[in-house]
Amino acid sequence: MKAQPATMPPSGSESAVGSAPAPASILVVDDDPVVRECYKRVIERLGHRVLCAADGEVALKRLREHHVDAVLSDVRMPNIDGAGLLEAIRKTAPDLPVLLATAEASVESAIHAVEYGAVAYLRKPVSNEQLRSSVAKALSLGKMAHLKRMMTSHFGDDSELERRRAQELARDMDRGLEGLFIAYQPVVHASNGELYGYEALMRTTHDPLRSPLAFLETAERLHRMYDLGRAIRRIVAEPLDTRTDIQLLINISADDLLDETLYSTDTKMATHASRIVLEITERASLDRVADVSARIARLRGIGYRIAVDDLGAGYAGLSAIAILEPDIMKLDMSLIRGIDANATKRSLVQSMLPLARDLGALVIAEGVETEAEKAVLCELGCNLLQGYLLGRPEPLPRA
Ligand code: C2E
Ligand code: CA
Ligand code: CA
């Protein structure tokens, strides 16, 4: 059926306000040649082209061969009647406006007409004025229906894609949580190499989220940061039950700070609070956390200590130090890597150490990979060291 090609809006609509309507093609179907001729004349005077058919069968043939913008059909006809024609049209041209006209309106045919979306049900004899206004209305309804369909198929496709992507992400997120485990990386005293504690770093067996940053980003996009933070907190402190010799450094995101369950006192973490340091990154803006200072005070009240993470990573100033008054300052590995061969890094670290000492904070140098880096950091007076040289993040064997 050629009516209403999917990519072309139907003609017959007004191209501009006040201008004559663009010519459209109307198919007139009636077994009475006088009626056909009468409709034809009126419609042609509106500037439209008229195709004629004496019954439903011929009408369907015309529709297959020609582009048609609207159909005006008698209801009572031999072979396929008006209702049958309407039903056949709807299978292939859902937007094609169809006007039905009948002398004796039966309830059944009216119901059928409504069911299959006839745009009007006209009582014969149809006046010229009624015919003109019905044709104009049918053409604009057809155009609207077509535009609506184009828009929903366009935007519908997009949202379908979005929906599928979100579903995939959600599946990844669930699998990530199912496979969640914690790797623990040693932090050692710079002076004698003795163990100070471990930084807890989340991991998952679900491959696409192997990088914790990818996992965090996925959680963020799905607004499931609470789920992730809570799942980590449920398992992270387990080693403290059996390993009474260690303490843990646990990463806390800005979202975690907003989650009331972080402040709960009947959790495994809270039980071991005196051996837990919460690392809060300087990277994540604390601006969006209302009452940061009050929240930090609540955490301290439970017994946690606070570390500021990633210092010197090139992000907003040292404001986090003022807000958090940290017990520990972690120097970002970008300051540490290659410090033995870089005078600027060396003097930066050198100037930060007295600042930390004045604040009563210990300093951890993070990302130590070589003996040369370690030697410089010890010489400068860093308290604690962390990095592949001292140990990789690994699941922690029970004592
Ligand atoms: P981060 O807190 O700065 O953690 C240190 C990162 O440096 C870890 O990466 C660690 O594996 C890596 N690292 C340690 N030593 C070395 C070294 O000598 N050389 C090099 N090149 N890298 C080293 P990881 O585990 O991939 O974690 C990346 C980031 O993801 C973390 O950075 C932290 O911001 C975040 N993250 C990890 N676990 C958690 C968590 O449980 N909760 C939250 N909120 N964030 C987490
Ligand atoms: Ca950290
Ligand atoms: Ca860090």
Q: Give distance in angstroms: CA of 309 to centre of ligand 2.
A: 6
Q: Is the pLDDT of residue 4 over 50?
A: no
For residues 30-38, give the mean pLDDT.
93
Nearest CA to ligand 1 atom 33: 251
Task: Encode pLDDT of 171-202 as tens digits.
Answer: 999 999 999 999 999 999 999 999 999 999 99
Q: What is the pLDDT of residue 283?
A: 67
Q: Give distance in angstroms: CA of 228 to centre of ligand 3.
A: 19
Cβ burial of 303 (10 Å; 0-12, 13-18, 19+) is: middle
Task: Encode pLDDT of 309-347 as tens digits.
Answer: 988 875 545 677 888 899 999 999 999 999 999 999 999
pTM of the model: 0.66
Q: Give distance in angstroms: CA of 177 to centre of ligand 2.
A: 20
Proximal ligand: closest to the CA of 181: 1
CB 164 within 8 A of CB 118: no
Say which residues have a Cβ less than 8 Å from residue 146's Cβ, sequence separation at least 6. Answer: 4, 9, 10, 95
Substitution site in 177, 251, 279, 332 for ligand 1 pocket (most atoms within 8 Å of beta carbon): 251
Q: Is 393 in the pocket of ligand 1 (CB under 6 A)?
A: yes
Say which residues have a Cβ less than 8 Å from residue 187's Cβ, sequence separation at least 6. Answer: 195, 196, 197, 198, 199, 249, 364, 384, 385, 386, 390
